[in-house]
């Protein structure tokens, strides 16, 4: 009986790992080769149906076992990065500082915080305006600007969101340099209130 219990646990754990990974690999690959296409292949729909039909249970199980993830790190391609530049303005509108992230005491915090700009990649992938999501992105960006402004007792921060592109080896040899493609810009006022 105990053997059966252990084997069932192993089978279930491996099933969850496999199903999440097959789904994520297919989904990422489809999105990579067909960006913005909403109609997905039948196999992917079946996988999504399996995941959705047990969504709550699988979600909680996956969350507390860490298995709610795929292992395709940096796959199928290394994604571009999104970078912020926050221009802190004084009362006369002059730029007193330009920062990409708030100041932290530890490198681990810098590493972690730098991940939060990648939420913008979701917006670029869906290629259409989803008002609720756009509001969320603006609110998150405003909060970061507010934290930076606090250190300078500034009230206004001009924020630019760039897509960062580094040239390939061949492009670099031809003299091309890194590109910052402006994706969005905001001016946040009344940050001290």
Residues that bind other proteins in the complex, under the rule CB under 8 A: 3, 6-7, 9-10, 13-14, 17-18, 21, 24-25, 28-29, 32, 56, 59-60, 63-78, 81, 83, 100, 102, 104-109, 111-116, 119, 136, 139-140, 143-144, 147, 164, 166, 168-169, 172-173, 178
> What tokens appear for 161 in the block?
């969101």
Q: Which is nearer to other proteins, 164 or 181 (CB)?
A: 164
CB of 67 to other proteins, least distance (A): 7
Which residue, 50 or 140, has its beta carbon nearer to other proteins? 140
Give all strands (DSSP E) within 31-155, no chain letters.
81-89, 95-99
Whole-angstrom distance, CA of residue 81 vs CA of residue 106: 21
DSSP annotation of 146: H
What does the alpha-carbon distance between residue 101 and residue 26 come to, in Å, rounded to a whole number? Answer: 34
> Considering beta carbons, is residue 39 or 56 the nearer one to other proteins?
56
Closest to other proteins by CB, 39 or 178: 178
Shortest distance in whole angstroms from residue 168 CB to other proteins: 6
CA distance 89 to 149: 9
Reduce the DSSP state of residue 192 to 3 states and report it.
coil
Q: Which is nearer to other proteins, 111 or 185 (CB)?
A: 111
Residue 75 CB, nearest approach to other proteins (Å)? 4
- Rounded least distance, CB 10 to other proteins, Å: 5
Beta-bridge partners for 89? 95, 156
Q: Which of 78, 68, 62 is nearest to 28 (CA)?
A: 78
């Amino acid at each position: 009986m105990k053997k059966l219990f252990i084997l069932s646990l192993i089978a279930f754990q491996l099933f969850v790992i496999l199903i999440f990974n097959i789904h994520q690999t297919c989904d990422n690959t489809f999105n990579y080769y067909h960006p913005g296409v909403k109609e997905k292949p039948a196999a992917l729909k079946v996988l999504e149906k399996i995941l959705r039909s047990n969504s709550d249970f699988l979600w909680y199980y996956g969350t507390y076992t860490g298995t709610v993830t795929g292992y395709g790190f940096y796959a199928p391609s290394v994604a571009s990065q999104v970078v912020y530049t926050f221009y802190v303005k004084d009362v006369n509108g002059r730029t007193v500082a330009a920062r990409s992230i708030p100041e932290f005491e530890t490198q681990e915090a810098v590493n972690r915080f730098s991940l939060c700009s990648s939420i913008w990649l979701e917006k670029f992938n869906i290629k259409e305006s989803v008002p609720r999501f756009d509001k969320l992105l603006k609110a998150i960006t405003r909060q970061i600007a507010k934290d930076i402004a606090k250190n300078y007792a500034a009230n206004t921060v001009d924020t630019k969101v760039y897509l960062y592109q580094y040239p390939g080896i061949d492009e670099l040899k031809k003299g091309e340099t890194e590109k910052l493609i402006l994706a969005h810009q905001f001016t946040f006022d009344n940050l001290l209130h």
